[in-house]
Structure 1
Amino acid sequence: MVYLDAFSYQEINYLNETITNMGKQIIFIQTEARVEVPKNSLQIQETFQDRLFSPQKIIESAMRLTDLASYQMILVSKDHLKLKSAVHLPISTVLFNENPHIQYNDIGNLPDLKLGNIQEIPELFKKTTGYFSEVLSTYLSQTRKWSESGYIFKFFAHSETTSLEIISGGRYFGPKHSLYESSQLSKRIGKSKNATSQDNLFYKIFLSIIKNINDVQNVDGITRVPSRPEKKDRLAPIVNLLSKKLGISDLSSNLSCKHNYPPHKNLKKEQRFINVKDQFSASLHNSLEHVVLIDDVFTTGATMLECAKELHNVGIKKVTGLVLGVNQFADEFMDRSILCEKCGGKLHLILNNKNYSAFYGCAEYQKHGCPTLSYGDGLNRMVTENLIDLVNTNEEF
């Protein structure tokens, strides 16, 4: 399904011909300014209500036209606003934009992929892929990863004194997000707060992305957003491994947090920036051109920007931020869940303590002997049982 606004006629023809030749169906969504499309193409007209509220009615119309379930569809647009409300619906979303950077105001509602080459859109039917951190942290079995490759995305974050380019390997879904129980990356980041079991996996993810950064501009050093003094400096061991492998300076000892500032939880964006102001200290004996600053999750960027400011102040010319995932806004009205066939309790995504595999089980699966599901089987149920049901929707808005 392709929103037509901003697509050229050449792009429309390319997508129509390529996708239909693959034996797939393509539906063009006409917006306010009607666009010419190939003859006999399937088309849906976007209404004012669709623009104002949600594309669900458009998706329902496409389901009736094709007799497909929503999870079998991909919604494509060049306009992030068209996808913001769709990312919470049971449909795949793709932002096609040749600009390598995502707008900062859009990072909390990211689509399933951002592509910059139109030829990559038909390729989505040929391979299983996603954002790099999410792909590499997803294990279908004890040894089998979902995939070995994926996409990264970039954006710029700003404070009053600092501008910073951020590179992210994926998205982070918090416990209140409807996709939390589907995301191994999110579960692994949560587990890493109090354990080191995910360090080697995260090291490999960071390593691959830093090599990519180094291909563009030589990286001289690496550090992390330091923990508060009362907390364990959990990213420092990963920085040390990266430094040794890449042969670049480990600057963990050159960047520290001075005080136990209050936690950011429940603070608004502006309050977070105030909360960390002047809380970090940097020192440097030798001039460095380019340093990578890592963290696990980017929410507002308050701590990362404050650390970057201190690094700039001691003479580092360029700082690049690198995170495993960007925090995604939850939709409190959305709930995706599956239930235990024995006790009826909700099934949760559980990480195996002995290896990197994951499975689904209810809260009492050990106590009551309830059955568990493999990650693949559980995810399949999560997708097929939480779809748009035409039986319970009305024809009219």
Structure 2
Amino acid sequence: MEFSLAKRVSALTPSSTLAITAKANEMKAEGISVIGLGAGEPDFNTPQQIIEAAILSMREGKTKYTATGGLPALKKAIIDKFIRDQGIDYKPSEVIVTNGAKHALYTLFQVILDEEDEVIIPIPYWVSYPEQVKLAGGKSVFINGSEENQFKITPEQLKGAITDKTKAFILNSPSNPTGMIYTEEELKLLGEICVEHGIIIVSDEIYEKLVYDGHNHISIAQISPSIKEQTIIINGVSKSHSMTGWRIGYAAGNEKIIKAMTDLASHSTSNPTTPSQYGTIAAYNGTQEPVEEMRKAFEERLNTIYPKLISIPGFRCVKPQGAFYFFVNVLEAAKITGYESVDEFAKGLLEEANVAVIPGSGFGAPDYIRLSYATSLENFENALTRISSFITEKRALQK
């Protein structure tokens, strides 16, 4: 018997990230030495203080259900973090703890979007934004952030995309995949437009701690009280504290929206994993030295690799300011090596140079590839050597 699937699932676009990762893993299983530059997670273990706190909680019998929206002590730790880092304050009823930041985003779209509601999404975007909007019955409206403007959109572009159906605007700073950061003035102008039109600002700040070369992360919610009222902050400890597998994220903002998200979570996931919550309390209340050590390591990699990366023929890259990705325009490299598209070029890199990169088509930018420097300097430099040799050899065949 053949079963039919729900239309909302059938309409989803397969993840190019997962496809490349699956192919790379298959090659590794065959004994091929593949260098993966697709990782979306830090290559550091979770700090010991966090691990020990989680273990202690389990030994003390703290392994039962918690409140759907998270432990009161964790909410307090998150609220204290907002005061400490951004100078903004929330009530416990304005915070929900979720099973990762992705779950916070998914739940948010489910409670704010009705059929045909529009969500403005800048390009390049994180791959799950449009798919989550689609699952909630909404419609994605894309704005192109040009490379000349560091992939950031302008107030004029935002104004031009607003209609009477616009419900929300997604802001991701520091950005995945570009690593770009919006300045305080840029945030102010975008925020004021959203306030004027009554648009919810979905501010994804998951990479806030990973900023480099003197750049600073500013939350749009700290610009003014009126902008804060329009903003739902999405964050978590996956990137900042190298806790990707612990699955703890959170959302903070309008009490009515947070309550609706909590009600929905009570019928879908119940509470976030209990020991992970205790680990996160330790992450926020304990020393932040491991966070800074990891940030410095990423900064060193960025500044060591970047000059070598842009010296590769056909590669063009705006230097990232945060996160841990290079977003590289390789259209010229694809052309000089005889490929019809960047997707085919990326496939060639994997199959012939044994280097796994993520095609930019999954981020709405088909002329680019994303390279993660959440790997050792040695690994990345070896990958660059393979890529350079691949281009040199392919280019020679075209002449």
Q: Same fold (TM over 0.5)?
A: no
Structure having greater relative contact order (Cα 8 Å, sep ≥ 6): 2
TM-score of the superposed pair, with normalisation by structure 1:
0.26
TM-score of the superposed pair, with normalisation by structure 2:
0.26
